[in-house]
A and B are shown apart, each in its own frame.
Chain A
Amino acid sequence: MARPMTAAEKILAAHAGREQVEPGETVWARVDWCLANDITAPLAIEQMRAMGCERVFDPGRIILVPDHFLPAKDIASAAQARVTREFAREQGIKHYYEVGRMGIEHALLPELGILRPGDLLVGADSHTCTCGALGVFATGVGSTDLACAMALGELWFRVPATVRVEFTGQLPRWVGGKDLALFLLSQLGTEGANYMALEFAGEAVAHLPLDGRLTLSNMAVEAGAKAGLVPAGEWQSDAGAQFAARYTWDVSALEPQVARPYSPADVVPVREVAGTPVDQVVIGSCTNGRYWDLAVAAEILAGRKVHPRVRLIVIPATQDVYRRALQAGFIEVFLEAGAAVSTPTCGPCLGGHMGVLAEGEVCVATTNRNFRGRMGHPESRVYLAGPAVAAATAVAGCIAHPEEVIGGGPHRG
């Protein structure tokens, strides 16, 4: 009788050509997809050539998305993007997505419809774990690892132990995938799932829109996790599979969550930081730049104005999100409210461009990291929140619970 396996173990076993694998052992596994961006691809390309490899193992299996400093913010970034672009042409890379047809990689990938549950995806970007929400074993690696994967079509993996997280109950209004992710970080800490796979389940997860599940998986890496799986299709954990830990939380009464500077795990309910004045609000990124995120923000911003002291920057994560938001009237709402709306880019999330912070400035962002200096000056401060709190904050001028802005909550009867 075969030992029962978790979903993560099953996917790795299948790709290693093995009946079964156990946590802790290391296997060479076939990869289905290799992903890189304008920052990590040039290094990976250089390393692949240093390995003596002229051609990628399969040009149909490489996905290159110039999204971080694109549209090019300066000459050096333009040069990096060109390295990636020329490589894509030279190698005949099928999945190369240019400015105007692209999106933030982890938002674009699910839209492409090419990933299937049980696939193995490695990406030279830590938020590659986002596609775990599709039942894909998706994990971030460095550029040299990616070079190895592009050259051989294989990479070495240590089989991770799995931590199962069940969110039960029904999420309150204004509470979504980001709040679950931040709450989880408050419980596990930034190292709580280091080297492990997180597996998400439960009624509250099942009832999230796909966009919300992608947000939840996206931030698995902030707890150190190698993957953040929502098992799908036949790739489910067996009955009796061994988990390193199991957590169950009823989230029926969960408040919107906010992470304080300078750690994504320094998380409190929004009311504990309500009233903190802010200079800028960013709604976007691979974490919260999808359709449902913009829908929530538009619901709060409709008929309201961004506070005079605040700059609101809204960045649809992909061209398709942008178009759908336009058709739904959200972009009109943002412009009417006094927000800047940008073409898709990672830009401000990593302090690249499109919203870098000055010394002492405070920002509420729907992004994923609030490390010191992440969005600009080392003395700037970033609070992480979901789109509802971010939009409410933009209107109020200080960190606010959505109910304070929209009424109908406990404060306004």
Chain B
Amino acid sequence: MGRAWKFGDDVDTDVIIPARYLYTHDPRVLAAHCLEVADPEFPARVRPGDVVVAGRNFGCGSSREHAPRALQACGVAAVVAASFARIFFRNAVNLGLLLVESEEAVERVRSGEQIEIDEEEGLLRLSSGETIPVRFPAGAAADVQRAGGLVEYVRKRLAARAGSAGGYCSEGAMGRE
């Protein structure tokens, strides 16, 4: 997949993409400044397929969807963290950015190490070949991801609504938000 870029706990959305760049959602602008507060080298050196690995409460702070968009614009393939803040979690799921939860992975992955995430097997593979079990979004979040993001999900809902009489929707149990 790509190299791991390690960060600490409480990486907030102002660090992921400072508000002074929110005059636009142009991916080139977001990519040029993504995580520069935490690591000024990151925007220039990150490569498509790389993975951000962080501690607890990744994405805390503002609701700005520009945060997962900035990571996607840099080519970040996934974020591995011990836990995610609520709104960032929703935004990433809605946009189809892969999120992976695992305390063990956060502890064991070394900065710069080549890692792979196996969604089928629910595993993260270290460069040594060793594997670590990881968690992915479940329930509703997984439904939205499977649909290709919330935009596609709603497109289908609207189409179904146009096709039938519409009415109240109740989609059964969904996962963590």
Contact = CB atoms under 8 A, between A and B. Distances in A.
Interface of A: 16-17, 24-28, 39-40, 42-43, 46-47, 50-53, 68-69, 74, 76-77, 80, 123-126, 128, 140-145, 147-148, 151-152, 154, 156-158, 190-191, 194-195, 224, 226, 263, 350-352, 356, 369, 371-374, 378
9 contacts: A47-B151, A125-B63, A142-B91, A145-B94, A151-B154, A156-B174, A224-B86, A350-B62, A374-B19
A357 B139 CA distance: 43
B170 A191 contact: no
Given A142-B87, A373-B18, A156 B140 contact: yes
A250 B153 CA distance: 48
Contacts of A190: 10, 57, 60
B19 A352 contact: yes
Interface string B1-25: 0000000001010110011101111
A123 B83 CA distance: 23
B129 interface: no
Contacts of A152: 154, 157-158, 169
A27 B175 CA distance: 10
A151 B20 contact: no
B125 interface: no
Contact of B20 (A143, A145, A194, A351): A351
B158 A142 contact: no
A373 B24 CA distance: 19
A96 B15 CA distance: 31
Interface in B72-98: 83, 85-87, 90-91, 94-95
Contacts of A16: 170
Q: Which of B56, B61, B159 has the most CB of A within 10 A?
A: B61
Contact of B10 (A80, A156, A263): A263
Given A52-B155, A140-B63, 12 more contacts: A17-B170, A39-B19, A43-B25, A51-B154, A142-B64, A143-B65, A144-B94, A190-B10, A190-B57, A352-B19, A372-B14, A373-B14
B63 A40 contact: yes
B173 interface: yes
B37 interface: yes
Give the top 10 A-B pairs by smallest Cβ distance, nearest first.
Answer: A26-B174, A158-B177, A76-B23, A142-B91, A350-B19, A142-B65, A144-B94, A126-B63, A191-B57, A51-B154
Nearest to B25: A43
A152 B169 CA distance: 10
B141 to A, nearest CB: 9
Nearest to A128: B63
Nearest to A369: B61
Nearest to B153: A148
A126 B154 contact: no
A142 B63 contact: yes
B152 to A, nearest CB: 8
A142 B90 contact: yes
Contacts of A226: 86, 177
B57 A194 contact: yes
Q: Which of B154, B168, B170, B177 has the most CB of A within 10 A?
A: B154
Interface in B12-54: 12, 14-15, 18-20, 22-25, 37-38
Given A25-B173, A156-B177, A40 B139 contact: no
B171 interface: yes
Nearest to B29: A76
Contacts of B174: 26, 156, 158
Contacts of A46: 25
B140 A371 contact: no
A51 B151 contact: yes
Q: Which of B62, B95, B169 has the most CB of A within 10 A?
A: B62
B176 interface: yes
B100 interface: no
A140 B63 CA distance: 7
Contact of A157 (B14, B66, B177): B177
A371 B161 CA distance: 43
Nearest to A196: B86
Nearest to B177: A158
B71 interface: no
B115 interface: no
Nearest to A53: B158
Contacts of B38: 372
Given A351-B18, A371-B14, A191 B85 contact: yes
Given A17-B168, A157-B177, A351-B20, A144 B63 contact: no
Nearest to A39: B22
B150 interface: yes
A77 B21 CA distance: 10
Nearest to B19: A350
A74 B57 contact: no
Contacts of A123: 63
A145 B90 contact: yes
Given A145-B90, A352-B20, A26 B151 contact: no
Interface in B119-177: 139-140, 149-151, 153-155, 157-159, 168-171, 173-177
